[in-house]
Structures are given as C-alpha cells and as structure tokens.
A and B are shown apart, each in its own frame.
Chain A
Amino acid sequence: AQDYHFGLEEGEGISELFDCD
C-alpha cells in the first residue's frame, strides 16, 4: 500500500463518506 496515495484526513473514514457521522 506504500504506492497508494491515501487521501482521507486523520478524522475521516467510510462513515463520513456516506454521511453517517
């Protein structure tokens, strides 16, 4: 996964991406 560019911030995850925070 080193090659992958992770873009989510520290406090972000799948819950925020689906508006479930």
Chain B
Amino acid sequence: HPQTPVRAAMSNIQQLIMILNSATDTPSDILITYFNNCTVNPKDSILKRVESLEHIFKKKFAEAVGQGCAEIGSQRYKLGVRLYYRVMESMLKSEEERLSVQNFSKLLNDNIFHTSLLACAVEVVMATYGRNASQSDGTSAETDLSFPWILNVFDLKAFDFYKVIESFIKAEPSLTREMIKHLQHCEHQILESLAWQSGSPLFELIKQSKERESQAEQPEPPSA
C-alpha cells in the first residue's frame, strides 16, 4: 500500500515500540557494572531521579492533555526511560572505547547530564507519537506537546539539552530519518533562539572563554 503520512507515523510508532520492547525499565547488568566502577556509585540517584521526574511528567502531561490521559503520559514516559537506559549504555560503551576509561563517576553523577539525556529520550517518544496525534488516543492535535515543551517539564536549560543531541544520535543507530531530522530541528531552534534566552548557561561559557582568552593574551611578568 502507498505510504500515507498516517501509515508512516504509525510504522514509526510500531518501530519504536519494537525497539524498546527488548529494552528494560531499569538499568541493565552492563549499566550496573559501569555504576559499580564509579568512585561514587550513581545508581540510587539515577533511580530516584527517574521516579521523581515521572511524577512531574505525568502531572504536566495530564495538565496539558487532560486528566483522563495521565496513564497515557505514564506509558510514554516509561518508553522514554527504556530509551534513556539503552542510549546511556551505548554512550558509555563508546566512551570507554574512545577514552580507555571505565570510571565515569563525574559524568554519571552529573544531574544535568541525566536530565538532558532522559529529556532527549522522552522527546523522541513524544515526537514519534506527536506525529500521529489523533483523536484515537485522546491527545488532541491542538495540545502542543512538541519541543521545547519537555524542557519546561523537566526545568532544563535548552543548551544543556543541546549538548546530548549529537551523542544521542550516534549512540542510537535505530533512530528513524524523520527522528534525526526532528532532533536536528531542535538543535537549530536552540542555537538560533532558545540558547540565547536570559539565564542560559551559554552566556557563562562565553564569559569563561573570554576570560581564558584575555589571560592567554597577558604578557608574562619578567620574573617568569
């Protein structure tokens, strides 16, 4: 049959669900091994964060779509969590290979890293379903859950979300072409506008780089 937009969207959803069917709701044995290799084991904080963000996501989803859809929000969040653990494992494997390191204590105890990675995973799920937002599952096309909605839900700075996108795409080879285009669109939205909003961490980074440049340009004192 010719590929209609709805059929294409449905196949993307089915593909996502198929990929995530084999993923787990909790960290895999390989992830647990990485956690155990850390100077400070991040496992408890990771599980606590996933649980607390689920409550927040479910509440915001229900507020946006309708109280009757809270369970749908919970299901979407759970798919996002599976993708989050799956991508985290893939990222750590590639970083281990690239850096010949097994102790990722600093990265795995970084709250912003985990919140950004989980937000990206949930955004992939939301965008996949969003393309097929129809009356059938109760979410109306008018409810705009599209990016950057997830940033507000997780109270996440756009530039921190931006930092995980490329590594996320590299770590998840089964992302569809449409999804990669969507994430690229998110990048452009962030770089062209969201990252320049007041309070963005980008301004601090620019300030630090300017300070480094000015220090590098200062002549050395004669004693040196």
Q: Which residue numbers of A lie inside 8 Å of B, CB to CB?
A: 1, 3-8, 11, 13-15, 17-21
**Interface size of B by Cβ–Cβ distance < 8 Å?**
25
Chain B residues with CB below 8 A from A5, complex form: 184
User: A2 to chain B: closest CB distance in Å?
Assistant: 9
List 15 additional A-B contacts (Cβ < 8 Å) besides A1-B173, A13-B95, A20-B107. A3-B180, A3-B181, A3-B184, A4-B169, A4-B184, A8-B167, A13-B99, A14-B91, A14-B113, A14-B164, A15-B99, A15-B107, A17-B163, A17-B164, A20-B110
Query: In the bound complex, do residue B98 and residue A13 qualify as a contact, i.e. CB atoms below 8 Å apart?
Result: yes
Known contacts being A15-B104, A18-B112, is A7 close to B95, with CB within 8 Å? Answer: no
Known contacts being A18-B112, A18-B163, is A4 close to B95, with CB within 8 Å? Answer: no
Q: Which residue numbers of B lie inside 8 Å of A, CB to CB?
A: 91, 94-95, 98-99, 101, 104, 106-107, 110, 112-113, 163-164, 166-167, 169-170, 173, 175, 177, 180-181, 183-184
Chain A residues with CB below 8 A from B110, complex form: 18, 20
**A8 CA to B165 CA, complexed, in Å:** 11
**A19 CA to B106 CA, complexed, in Å:** 9
Chain A residues with CB below 8 A from B94, complex form: 13
Chain B residues with CB below 8 A from A20, complex form: 104, 106-107, 110
Main secondary structure of the interface of A (DSSP, over half): loop
Chain A residues with CB below 8 A from B183, complex form: 4
**A20 CA to B210 CA, complexed, in Å:** 21
User: A18 to chain B: closest CB distance in Å?
Assistant: 5
Chain B residues with CB below 8 A from A19, complex form: 106
A-B contact pairs, 14 of them (CB 8 A): A4-B169, A6-B166, A7-B166, A8-B167, A13-B95, A14-B107, A14-B167, A15-B95, A15-B107, A18-B106, A18-B110, A18-B112, A20-B110, A21-B99
